[in-house]
Chains A and B, each alone.
Chain A
Amino acid sequence: MRRAVLPAILLLSAAPLAPAKRPAPQILGLRLGMSYEQARSRLAEIGQFKSEDEGQQVWILSHDQRYQYAIVGFDRARRVRYITVLARPDGKPVSYSDVGDLGNATRSGGPGNLRYTWKAHDEIGGYEYVAIAKGKNLRYLDRFAVKRLGGEAEDRD
């Protein structure tokens, strides 16, 4: 009985740490498709507004040990169309495998300019999205982003 319980406990405890096959369409509680008001409310909880340009906002993250900035783009309907977080240079490093299963990602670039890209479908929102982890380092990312594909999310400039 003890033999059966222990692995189950280990599995359960390890489950939250294991990378998802594909990254979820959200970062730091900010979700693709979220309304402007909801996003602003969440951003105000985790950071300070820095600047805005062409429907894209830069926020300085206050307490996150991994990421220093969050950049959020809104579409014409004022819903979140992308979220990008920039790693804190002196913070806790985030490895590419922390954000998604690298086996399900497309790897491109190389040393000094590496990126992993996941394509996924959000069942709840009913849209396609991409998740991209980029960095100069072969192990740790510099930035991580999720972005909706299609429709309002890809506004013409």
Chain B
Amino acid sequence: MSIHTAGNFTAATRFSLQSGILALAAFCFATLVFASTPSSSTLNPVNGSSATWAGSGIAGATTDETTCVDGTDCDVYTITLTGSPANYKGLVLAISISHQNKLNDYDLYVHKGDLTGPVIASSTAGIPETGESVVIDPTVSGTGVYTVHVVDSNVAPGDPYSGVATITTPPADSPAHGSAPTYANYQSPPGLGDNSGEPSIGANFNSGRIMTQAVFDTLQVTFNTNTSPATATWLLKDGPNTNITTLDPILFTDSLTGRTVVSQLFGTTSLSAFTDNDGETYTVSQGGGIASGVDHETVGGGPFRLCTADQLLATPVPCAQLAIRGPLTQYPHAIYYASQDIGDAEMALSQDGGLTYEEAHPMYTLVDCGGLHGHIKVSSSGIVYVPNKSCGSTQGLIVSMDNGLTFAVEPVTRSSPNSSDPSIGIGSKGRVYFGYVGSDGHPHITISDDQGRSWHNDLDVGVPFSIRNTVFPEVVAGDNDRASFFFLGTPSAGDGTGADTGPTPFNGVWHGYIATTYNGGRTWFTVDATPNDPVQLGVICTQGTTCPNGTRNLLDFNDLTVDKIGRVFAAYTDGCITAACIAAGNNPTASHTRLDNDQATKATIIRQSTGLGLFKSQDSTRLQP
């Protein structure tokens, strides 16, 4: 054993000590929870039991709850409910906060237990709201400790919040407010998009154009809004190496940067290129970062996960580790490539805008989840998500909090495995909307406010149309409490997604439906977006390459996006395009089997015509058809 003195410290020792002090300081800072005044209360199962508190008066700005530092730009208040859950029958815990300045924005999260517990309720309305509120049912969530986490989304000094927690009777159910959106369909012109299975779609916020790709065709679509209804101009904008051959086509547009990546699976890797001018010119890229036999690839991207200045002060070591995986060029965002590999699924990060990719990191093995997965989405705070239709007994969400270095597999509770890839949309403050097909064949959507660790508000949005078979769930979100969910559905019962090898072919008419929420997923408007023109007659087989001919013309998925003003666009493959097929689909007494279907693969876009978009800040500009 030796004892160091100041005089014989080596450089390494000094560095180690400095690191240790910093780490200790960071640890103390991070674990010292800054509280409101008072910091806690106890409520009893009595109508009217209540408590109030004052926020700590801190100001700051965050992207979502994961980027706040307690005591700097968020604080906590603890509520303990006495008694047993049964004591609260007919009662709820109502929590609200309010402030004065309409230019400030606080967000409210309630964890069961301490801050590491699940977020069971949240309220994240933006400017100009001056209050947030949640209602919790203790007969479901239990008694004991609840931690109220109040986060400065964007708060200037001098406007502290005040909070109220009350045991009260449940509020009356509030119906969805507002009106349902309407939609129009735009079919690609003859000669373009004629072979368009499994389309992707993206919106370039800078140019206002839509980019879409299916099989060989990459298409640029411009909507002329000088006329109403708007007209569409479709132009072929193939990349230099992505119209040569294809196994799986994927297009991804980073709406904020305007960069579109096009990719075609090719043997053991992908052919890929990107464009910053909607396909006028392309740069050929490395491909994908996985070179050992890929399948079912996906490309996505968004902000890197990097520390805020406050986080850097509080936790410098992990922040430095994150920064290593930050941007290496002027291109500010991350691009990720992921695919099934041999016995696992992997993801590779590009730190130079999709030009090159690192050696891919394993996301999970087939011991954890099925190899095929849905498409990558990245939150505004840089959290990377990949949904999966089968992770043990549930569907799953693969989550990376460190720019694709390590991954966690989160089960989507109350879901069951299915044959359609699920999809997620991420609200501006991190709320995850997970759209999936349930074991009952119905279109479900469920919500997480804690990066997939817990789920709530699981709803069957197909109820208004009695949907009994569903395929290709696709989700996009805008503001934290606004999202749209696109799916193909039919009210016909039976095995509408199988191989259709029985003596009686499946009989059903499929339409494209879009469900939209404007209140965080509590209620949804579901609309038939293809009301007079069926998408498919008969079966839509989702059993991959084992599907017989004539059952899988639509391939594996559709896609959904939102433009700068919050207008929703869906890309789908239309399998029923002739007058005879459409007429049969609109005739309820006609036969609707695969034998009556066109087996077409025509590129079509659904464009939202009216109603509120997904960005509240744009509500004053009414959408025009």
Interface residues of A (CB under 8 A from B): 50-51, 53-56, 58, 69, 71, 73, 76, 82, 84, 86, 108-110, 112-113, 115, 117, 130, 132, 134, 143, 145, 147, 149-150, 154-157
Contact = CB atoms under 8 A, between A and B. Distances in A.
B215 to A, nearest CB: 11
A154 B545 contact: no
B352 interface: no
B98 interface: no
B359 A56 contact: no
Contact of B367 (A69, A130, A145, A154): A69
Interface in B350-375: 359, 361-362, 365-367, 370-372
A132 B247 contact: no
A150 B545 CA distance: 16
A143 B344 contact: yes
Contacts of B390: 53
B344 A115 contact: no
A120 B71 CA distance: 59
Given A50-B367, A145-B342, A157-B248, A82 B545 contact: no
Given A54-B371, A86-B343, A156 B248 contact: yes
A132 B343 CA distance: 11
B268 interface: yes
Contacts of A109: 359
Q: Please classify the interface of chain A as helix (H, G, I), strand (E, B), loop, or mixed, using the class held by over half of its residues.
A: strand
B556 interface: yes
Given A54-B544, A82-B342, A113-B361, A147 B267 contact: no
A35 B169 CA distance: 66
Contacts of A82: 293, 342-343
Nearest to A110: B359
B296 interface: yes
Contact of B365 (A130, A143, A155, A156): A143
A91 to B, nearest CB: 15
Contacts of A155: 295, 545
Contacts of A51: 366
A154 B365 contact: no
Given A56-B371, A112-B405, 20 more contacts: A53-B371, A54-B544, A55-B546, A69-B365, A69-B367, A73-B342, A76-B545, A82-B293, A82-B343, A84-B365, A110-B359, A113-B361, A130-B268, A134-B362, A145-B342, A147-B342, A156-B265, A156-B545, A157-B544, A157-B556
B292 interface: yes
Interface string B371-387: 11000000000000000
Contacts of A84: 342-344, 365-366
A156 B247 contact: yes
Contacts of A143: 343-344, 362, 365
B375 to A, nearest CB: 14
A57 to B, nearest CB: 9
Which 10 residue pairs spanning A and B have beta carbons closest together?
A: A84-B343, A109-B359, A71-B343, A53-B370, A82-B342, A157-B296, A145-B342, A156-B247, A147-B342, A71-B366
Nearest to B368: A58
